Structure 1
């Protein structure tokens, strides 16, 4: 009876994850007994399990922190809010995949299994409290990401991008494990995060050269997941290389997989980086601050300057996301107080809506035209004002134009960084934000101009009819993200108040 009570007590801590696991089993059972042509149940089960998990996390908000499963799993407000962000990413991205799956004519069950399993890995990663669980959860997320990136296996560019992603991801995971093994050895054989800290104190190894090796190795592994410069090489190739072959056109249409990977990997890796650096490396506070500051500056500068020269919307967003994660690092570096982490979480929430909203617009445009070339967006306002308006709102919010949500998020992020003394980092971030506005406005200017003769010929016959359920589902995500990107900044105070409660 005691063991049963202990199991029930521990199981209560992973109830949101259990909902997703149950959803995975339901998907498999539905696949066995239902007609593959009836895909509505697969989307319903996936979305229902995600929404229920969010509801449970919100219902349990404010509960006392708890460590369960013999110290392997930790539950507190900090990892709860990151789980909510990860679930939000998946919930917004699934409606974008309906038309994608129809175009590729691939099995919906496997696609949804990969999405939910990646989400599950990200959730476990947020609460993992020992080195083994961290690595297993990270690989669960990573392996599903590799499979999703190569889902269109008949596409040559997709295969090339997947191979690069897999090889670089495997190398980064190996380097990360090497760093974790140093922590294990230096701490005297401990694997729990807090026990590692105690072990480093007992062995007097917290100032040894081995800590530097562990710090650099772990930074490289996490930097790959965050797409930090110089570990960003996979990002533009994976963003642009994947695509579903549209049946009406010869070119590749954008894929929702890119939208999913562009946000979930950053949210999960940010949660991991925050906990590892803040808990284990607090002995080397100045050292890891210095390392992350260099990476943040390189990411902001290189990401925004290279984005200026891009002609593909997906590749432009790839380099834009590299610059965006540089801004987010400001909150991680200055997270010694509630304001630092609160600014990072707040901006991450806004970034999810801004980025997925932009991808929703690109996907919808690509499905109707078969192109993602920036020049082909010329004159979109005259053909489809609603799509042009949604894309404009998301891009302006990404650039930080007032009074949109991105402006308030960046202001709060930079203000917290300035208060913490990161003057150089904030100054460079503000300058790079101004530069980013240029290439966002360049696209918006194209939306309002007339089409020229260099435009892809089939785009001249752009059609705005969208009567199918699949396209309507894309428009729902697009509308939600556009509205959130426009007005979410009005609710800054309650969002910040909630984010400040996550300080651990």
Structure 2
């Protein structure tokens, strides 16, 4: 009886992940039973398992913290919010991929398996409570990311992107594990996060010079996942070479998981060296905001521009982690990350649709799109302006709250640079909007002249995902107060 109760106790803590695992098994079974032309089954099973998982998280909201699996996994309001964000990203990305898979004739089952396993790894990473579980979950997410980035096997750019991603990802994982080994040794052989903190206190190693080695190593490993400067070199090549739905998925999922990991490690393991890691993250945030936005101005490829834009965006989000001493700091990070998911995925949905109809992602080729497809042009313009923080769109409210919390905490230089770089970002977003809307009386590119609207069930999936993201990018900011309240409750 005792073992049965323990099984229920442990199973309840990972019930959302267990539902995803069941969905993975069902996908494999359906793949054996049905012809692969029966695509609806694959999408239905994937989306159903994700919706059920997110429903379970909703019903469990507000429950007390729970540590299970002998201390390896922890559930509380904070990591449940991040698990919810990962599930939300995946739910939005699968419909976004339907038309792309149909047109490129890629294997469906394997693609969905990799997507779900990556989401599973990200969810386990959010709740991982010891170094071994953290590394295994991180590699589960990373390996699927490498495979997805090279899913277009016949595309030379995709192969090149995968090789760069794999080599640099392997190097960053090695540095991260090296930092873990130092923490393990300095704490007297502890692997659980809270026990590592206690061990460092007991061994008096928390103020030794040796603590800088694991601090820097772990920062490098996490910085790679977040695409922070100077660990961002893989980002533009992977964004440009990978299939566009894969880029959309990786651009948000890996950042959500890495933010959850960074917040917990820095605030638990390195709590005693708060000044040091604050300084490191401030430098990385400034570098990311400045270089990301300045280099984005010069880009000619839409996906490379979004790559550098995402580097600048993660610089803004770091302000929330640095300002983590108050509920407002973490709340601002969570809220902006939620808004960023909709803004970014909405932009990528528009890019997927345009790319499938024209075969290009060059920014100049969008010139005059409003004359052929006003709905797509307006949707892309709204998402881009929201990313730039133009009022009264959602991105404006997210940045306003993020910068206000940082200013209240006394990070005046960081917030000032963030505000200035936001103005720079508005310039290159407006440049694209100008091409979409106001170049119709001038020379229109052949890609837009030959633009043809198509009608198919799979395209409707993509458009519905795009509509949801566009609406959220435009009006979600008006319900800031309840979202802020929920986010503040998540502070641990």
- TM interval, short-chain normalised: over 0.9
Within 2, Cα distance between the matches of 1:314 and 1:98?
Answer: 19
Q: Is 1:67 aligned to 2:55, yes or no? A: no
1:455 to partner: Cα distance: 6.1
Within 2, Cα distance between the matches of 1:289 and 1:228?
Answer: 15
SS at match of 2:298: coil
SS at match of 1:232: coil
SS at match of 1:372: coil
Q: Is 1:284 aligned to 2:273, yes or no? A: yes
Q: TM-score, normalised by structure 2?
A: 0.99
Equivalent residue, structure 2, for 1:360: 349
1:452 to partner: Cα distance: 8.6
Aligned partners of 1:375 and 1:455 also within 8 Å: no
SS at match of 1:191: coil
Cα distance per residue 1:441-461 (max 9 Å; x no partner): 000000113359976534321
Aligned partners of 2:386 and 2:393 also within 8 Å: yes
1:3 to partner: Cα distance: 1.5
Q: Is 1:421 aligned to 2:410, yes or no? A: yes
SS at match of 1:74: strand
1:492 to partner: Cα distance: 0.1
Within 2, Cα distance between the matches of 1:40 and 1:447?
Answer: 34
Within 2, Cα distance between the matches of 1:185 and 1:425?
Answer: 35
SS at match of 2:74: strand
Cα distance per residue 1:104-147 (max 9 Å; x no partner): 32221100000000000000000000000000000000000000
Q: Is 1:269 aligned to 2:258, yes or no? A: yes
Aligned partners of 2:371 and 2:440 also within 8 Å: no
Aligned partners of 2:385 and 2:393 also within 8 Å: yes
1:98 to partner: Cα distance: 1.0
Within 1, Cα distance between the matches of 2:100 and 2:346?
Answer: 16
Q: Which runs of 5+ in 2 are unaligned?
A: none
Q: Is 1:113 aligned to 2:113, yes or no? A: yes
Within 1, Cα distance between the matches of 2:435 and 2:444?
Answer: 12
Within 2, Cα distance between the matches of 1:431 and 1:208?
Answer: 38
Equivalent residue, structure 2, for 1:447: 436
Task: Please list, as runs of the form range in 1=range in 2, the aligned pairs for 1:459-470 lying within 5 A after superposition.
Answer: 459-464=448-453, 466-470=454-458
Within 2, Cα distance between the matches of 1:305 and 1:191?
Answer: 41
Cα distance per residue 1:313-367 (max 9 Å; x no partner): 0000000000000000000000111000000000000000000000000111111
Equivalent residue, structure 2, for 1:125: 125
Equivalent residue, structure 1, for 2:461: 473
Aligned partners of 1:117 and 1:141 also within 8 Å: yes
Equivalent residue, structure 2, for 1:247: none
Within 2, Cα distance between the matches of 1:472 and 1:336?
Answer: 45
Aligned partners of 2:122 and 2:138 also within 8 Å: yes
Task: Please list, as runs of the form range in 1=range in 2, the aligned pairs for 1:220-369 lying within 5 A after superposition.
Answer: 220-243=220-243, 255-369=244-358
Aligned partners of 2:368 and 2:444 also within 8 Å: no
Equivalent residue, structure 1, for 2:490: 502
Once structures 1 and 2 are overlaid, which stretch shifts more, 451-460 or 344-353?
A: 451-460
Aligned partners of 2:393 and 2:477 also within 8 Å: yes
Equivalent residue, structure 2, for 1:388: 377
Equivalent residue, structure 2, for 1:487: 475
Aligned partners of 2:367 and 2:440 also within 8 Å: yes
1:210 to partner: Cα distance: 1.7
SS at match of 2:305: helix
Equivalent residue, structure 1, for 2:92: 92
Cα distance per residue 1:199-244 (max 9 Å; x no partner): 001100001122100000000000000000000000000000124x
Q: Is 1:148 aligned to 2:136, yes or no? A: no
What value does the CA root-mean-square deviation take over the aligned residues?
A: 1.0
1:500 to partner: Cα distance: 0.2
SS at match of 1:274: helix
Within 2, Cα distance between the matches of 1:39 and 1:329?
Answer: 40
Within 2, Cα distance between the matches of 1:305 and 1:208?
Answer: 38
Aligned partners of 1:23 and 1:45 also within 8 Å: yes
Equivalent residue, structure 2, for 1:138: 138
Q: Is 1:179 aligned to 2:182, yes or no? A: no
Aligned residues: 492
Once structures 1 and 2 are overlaid, which stretch shifts more, 324-333 or 92-101?
A: 92-101
Task: Please list, as runs of the form range in 1=range in 2, the aligned pairs for 1:178-197 lying within 5 A after superposition.
Answer: 178-197=178-197
Q: Is 1:436 aligned to 2:406, yes or no? A: no
Aligned partners of 1:72 and 1:129 also within 8 Å: yes
Within 2, Cα distance between the matches of 1:16 and 1:23?
Answer: 11
SS at match of 2:364: helix
Among candidates 376, 392, 415, match of residue 365 of structure 2: 376
Aligned partners of 2:89 and 2:249 also within 8 Å: yes
SS at match of 2:67: strand
